[in-house]
Copies of this chain bind each other. A is one copy, B any other.
Amino acid sequence: MKLLEERISKDGLVKEGNVLKVDSFLNHQMDIELFNEMGKEFKRLFGDRPINKILTIEASGIAIAAIAAQYFDVPVVFAKKSQSINLDGSVYSTKIESFTHKKIYDVIVSKKYLSPEDHVLVIDDFLANGCAINGLIELINEAGATIEGVGIAIEKGFQNGGQKLREQGINLHSLAIIDKMDPVEGSITFRQE
């Protein structure tokens, strides 16, 4: 998606350790107008699927999923990163390792909000090694629901999460795929598709 690639080139900061900072428009301050364009693009990419629910994970996937949901006219469920006293005991759960935070989280979704009748589009802001997305897919499988697709804003193509998902036959679309980042030059190379 040209608009997103241009924005990453303009405002993204490449740091040592394969870190891309896009917190000025994507995951701390959020450009909701851009999110609307991303939502339209997700609709173009997944609009042929019988999606009745969008699943994401807190926190930075939530706004992208909520804005996109307007184009699909479906509710959003976000997986939570720790057990809350406000959730029933009856949850699907898995463990996810965070690349960013170097931590392992318990991730849960209430059984009330994922069922075998659900046809789910998974949306998240980043795909790198794929831990978060694999965790969400696990929750969907646990519920017996159908995965209709995975929509990602930015994929780090030089890590193997995306490749593994595509090899599994997952209907994955990333709006921008980065093949190379150079922290010295500050340059970002996008995959041409």
Contacts and interface: CB of A to CB of B under 8 A. Distances in A.
A77 B36 contact: no
Interface string A75-97: 11110111011110000000000
A85 to B, nearest CB: 6
Contact of A110 (B23, B36, B100, B102): B23
Interface of A: 19, 21, 23-25, 27-33, 35-36, 58-59, 62-63, 65-67, 69-70, 73-78, 80-82, 84-87, 100-102, 109-110, 112-113
Integer count of this chain's copies in the complex: 2
Nearest to A31: B75
Contact of A75 (B29, B78, B84): B29
Given A100-B86, A112-B24, A76 B63 contact: yes
A19 B85 contact: yes
B113 A24 contact: yes
Contacts of A62: 58-59, 62-63, 66
A91 to B, nearest CB: 10
Contact of A58 (B33, B59, B67, B69): B59
B113 A75 contact: no
B78 A59 contact: yes
